[in-house]
Amino acid sequence: MRTLAEHIETASIANYRKGNRLNGRYVVLGKIGTGWEGITYKVRDRFDGRTKALKLITNVRRRKSILSQARVLVRLKHPNIIDYFNVDRLHVDGQSHYFLLVDYLEGPRLSEVIKKHHRKHKKPNLFYMLRVFYQICRGMAYVHDQRILHDDLHTDNIIVTGDPTQPIPKLFDFWGTQGARKISRRSFDLQCAGQVLFECMTGKETYKAKDLGRLPDDIAAIIRRAHGRVHNYKSFHEIIDDLEELRSWD
């Protein structure tokens, strides 16, 4: 007997080719990839003409928790968070398969932007990097205010849209965990944010305190406090307050 994942993989070969319509509404433009949650397709929504990502939930063992998380993510509405539109079902070969519909964004990952930037410049563009990081913190502050955790915040899970003078980072790939009252998990997101700022400013993935000596004192202090276990940040609002003390970058 085939598993649901095997059935969908077979169905994807037969029915999910470029140009096919799913549920009479979504026109397949191509396959984006396969992850632990399922298979993701690039589609065009015939209702509004927008390009979107349709993620089929093929992980049978964790399907219930994935769907629960997905329904939480659909509630998030913020300019620095990717749009999660809805959870629905496809009907294929007499069976129903759940999927999550997400906005499809064109743009590089923040990790790619950082690498490209540090290859071209000996010193980081403080104005650009702080503008990006400030928006990331605003998005994360909103998420925590909704009692939701990211739990996987890093530079590969941030897409940079907009133009070089007005970058707009978009957070995605949330685990969607509810329970931001849990101090330990909230602190983990904050520490990850400190790592994101460290990478933005140094171009390095591995945190080393000695590298902070090359940065302006006020920026280094934010990174130290985010990474620290004593006198560390308790919320993203506190990071935002410190960033707003540096308004010269805006």
CATH number at residue 27: 3.30.200.20
Domain identity same for 98 and 117: no
Residue 38 sits in the same domain as residue 75: yes
pLDDT number for residue 4: 47
Q: Does residue 31 sit in helix, strand or coil?
A: strand
Number of domains in the chain: 2
Three-state DSSP class for 168? strand
Question: In this structure, what CATH number is given to the domain that contains residue 210?
Answer: 1.10.510.10
Q: What is the pLDDT of residue 101?
A: 95
Phi and psi at residue 68, in whole multiples of 5°?
-60, -45
Task: Answer yes or no: do 83 and 205 share one domain.
Answer: no
Q: Do 135 and 242 sit in the same domain of this protein? A: yes
Q: Read off the tokens for 169.
A: 């980072």
pLDDT digits (tens, 9 = 90+) for 116-149: 999 888 777 888 999 999 999 999 999 999 888 8
Of 103, 136, 165, which residue is a domain's last? 103
Give the CA angle between residues 219, 221, 222 to the nearest 5°: 70
Other C-beta atoms within 10 Å of 89: how many?
Answer: 12
Our CA angle for 191, 173, 17, nearest 5°, is 160
Name the residue range of residue 169's domain: 110-249
Which pLDDT tens digit goes with each residue over 3-22? 445 445 545 444 578 888 88
Of 69, 103, 137, the last residue of a domain is 103
Provide the b/e sequence for 108-147 (b: ≥16 CB within 10 Å). Answer: ebbbebbbeebeeeeebbbebbbbbbbbbbbbbbbbbeee
- Output the pLDDT for position 177: 63
**Same domain flag for 40 and 145:** no
% of the chain at pLDDT higher than 70:
87
Task: Give the pLDDT confidence score for residue 227 in this predicted structure.
Answer: 87
Based on the domain organization, do 128 and 54 belong to the same domain?
A: no
pLDDT in the model for residue 218: 93
Cβ atoms of 245 and 216 within 8 Å: the answer is no
Considering only residues 91 and 211, tell me which one the structure prediction assigns the higher pLDDT: 211
Mind listing the pLDDT tens digit for each residue in 21-69? Answer: 888 899 999 999 888 788 899 999 999 999 999 998 888 888 888 888 8
> Element (H or E) spanning 132, and its range?
helix 126-145
Same domain for 70 and 166, yes or no, is no
DSSP-assigned letter for residue 213: G
Residues 86 and 152 in one domain: no
Question: Which tokens is 240 given?
Answer: 């935002």
Q: Compute the mean pLDDT over every residue in the chain, rounded to the nearest whole number.
A: 86
| Same domain flag for 134 and 13 | no
Phi, psi of 35 (to 5 degrees): -130, -175
